[in-house]
Structure 1
């Protein structure tokens, strides 16, 4: 038995001899590998132009065969492999397609080596069999380098894509998008410039599962952005309406959310964002509550003009607010419940677990303290708005 070093040298010499011959048939090997790759993979055909595929394959096979003639420290084929993998990631070729190509390359090269030895040096076939491990090890090295480089480049591309999407969303939501940005957002976000949208804002921690940001709700698409203290989503409604959106949100929102009115274009999202935030501000408790601005306009008006809200609060409820805290809170709760029950003393009494006459007496006392009659429409409006102010401006409740 010959020493291992003699066997290894015999194998290497056999491979070198065959590699020199195969280098003379590069175009034929390239044709075969390109044809086999493209015949079984429509995605490869769509992502990589034929001329580019052929040229890169020619160079890859050349460097792969040349590597057999070089010391292991001079694997220039690996540099080429990394560059090509980076290019394929940029072209959007799936990694599976890229790795399949390397498996086919191993088959094509190995078959060519075997064919050559059968024709020219059949007595050396046994040596070539021992060389199989060297050939497939070289292919494996290329595949590993390709896989690692592809994954790193894909992450870079995805990161930049997410950054671009986030920047475009921010521009739309913050009102800094000009016509050019709107057109760019239409393409990058795959959203029609003129479509039906709403903006949703959710206080941080206001979801059933803090890891869940649904990207769709019953056919409505949602694009989310994180903000300080809250999350915001652009909801592409399609054929749905606010009722549909709020119903689906109720399944995932456990805290407080604000919903804007419907707008009809990307350029209107900044205004919708402001209105969604305003709707969310009308909620003073921890929820669950989904506030639609179209149902909170009076409260929203109080928030937009706090100076007038304070004035109304003092003029309409001033004497009531001057009571001790327990008495004041009882009357405010009674008024709020009475209004929520459409002026029904019986329904208000049921909600507050007291007798109907108790509600009637408290309502009379509220009218006496405020000098307003709940039977008079204008006075009723004043008291309802003042009550919103009292709820939304807690610093004046003390």
Structure 2
């Protein structure tokens, strides 16, 4: 059997350089353009009728606006053709501006693309009518049809790009507004009346209580990872979280505390009304600073830290006590590190020698010896409450 030869599509004809046309074709083009100019109102009326009938999206525009736009494109086309220029370049110059303006008016890009195609079809229909009267060569008319439809496809792509860019721009502006609100609430710089007035814009109820979260990131990539981790813990899309950098901390406003945040340190303030949440954020930041010093991770509340925040305060008092009690320990040299670690573990384990021995994998007598050695060197008696507290404070401050 003979194989069928597939039918090839006809090659698209592009508009020729109008300056190179022969005299008769050029004269026909000039005459056709002059006739088209007299039909600009007819073109505008036809476009209006088509758009009103077939493209509901154009309801956002008035009749006058649609007709004025049609006349403008007719004027560009006839002006370029009368100057013996292919109109594509001139149309490109106005299409983007036209697309942005229409999108801001609420016209969807698909409606705009269909409208442009309908307008192109109507323009070609008028050209066909005029061409028959002025005897425009068929080859030129076919090239005009092919070029017009090819440019119409290009215009559709441009409309889609403009729509995408505007969506991104609006998203960026909205993200900046959200961030500014969160920063103002958590830093305490936004007045209470402004907070209560704008809360609903961000899905918040000024009568409800919220919690402030505080965490820290060292890079934009880490910030994104933290947002995703918190979003996952809250079971919420990351782009819907209310977060903002506040000083050197990344802060969040959430309806509740996350139960767990895998692999991250997130500190939580107490539930408070929005206009008092700055105090809750301060508590979360204090918890964050303390928990980082103690190499903690997970979800941490200030109340989980016990007296640890106090360990990092009163630097002057701590230095004088350390000079009195820990300097003799340090002077011993190599074994002082083992002694210090054992006593710190001893205090963490509520003075249970067996538990300390298992944790450090040493004999219980070794634990007892090191505790006694610590007392001898520092002058602190761990049987006395005041000395025990002082020891816990100094050793944990040094670890922090």
The TM-score range, normalised by the shorter chain, is: 0.7 to 0.9
CA–CA distance in structure 1, aligned partners of residues 29 and 130 of structure 2? 18
Corresponding residue of 2:289: 281
Deviation at 1:359, TM superposition (A): 0.8
Structure 1 residue 85 corresponds to structure 2 residue 99: yes
Per the alignment, do residues 328 and 205 of structure 1 end up closer, same or farther by CA in structure 2, a change over 3 Å counting? farther
Among 227, 244, 249, the alignment partner of 1:214 is 227
Deviation at 1:178, TM superposition (A): 0.8
Per the alignment, do residues 88 and 382 of structure 1 end up closer, same or farther by CA in structure 2, a change over 3 Å counting? farther
Deviation at 1:300, TM superposition (A): 1.0
| Structure 2 residue matching 1:59: 3-state secondary structure | helix
The size of the alignment, in residue pairs, is 365
Deviation at 1:129, TM superposition (A): 3.8
Corresponding residue of 2:47: 29
Q: What do you get for the CA RMSD once the two structures are aligned?
A: 4.1
Corresponding residue of 1:170: 183
Corresponding residue of 2:13: none
Q: Deviations over 1:96-149 (max 9, x none)?
A: x32542333223441464388579959879564443135336646755765666
Deviation at 1:280, TM superposition (A): 2.8
| Structure 2 residue matching 1:354: 3-state secondary structure | coil
TM-score by length of 2: 0.72
Structure 1 residue 387 corresponds to structure 2 residue 398: no
Among 149, 167, 171, the alignment partner of 1:136 is 149
- Bigger Rg, which one: 2
CA–CA distance in structure 2, aligned partners of residues 280 and 113 of structure 1? 69
Per the alignment, do residues 157 and 210 of structure 1 end up closer, same or farther by CA in structure 2, a change over 3 Å counting? closer
Q: Which aligned pairs between 1:43-58 and structure 2 lie closer than 5 A?
A: 44=57, 50=59, 52=61, 54-58=63-67
Deviation at 1:36, TM superposition (A): 2.3
Per the alignment, do residues 269 and 295 of structure 1 end up closer, same or farther by CA in structure 2, a change over 3 Å counting? same
Structure 1 residue 250 corresponds to structure 2 residue 262: yes
Among 20, 25, 38, the alignment partner of 1:20 is 38
Corresponding residue of 1:267: 275
* Contact 1:372/1:379 (8 A) holds in 2: yes
Per the alignment, do residues 176 and 367 of structure 1 end up closer, same or farther by CA in structure 2, a change over 3 Å counting? same
CA–CA distance in structure 2, aligned partners of residues 280 and 101 of structure 1? 52
Structure 1 residue 66 corresponds to structure 2 residue 83: no
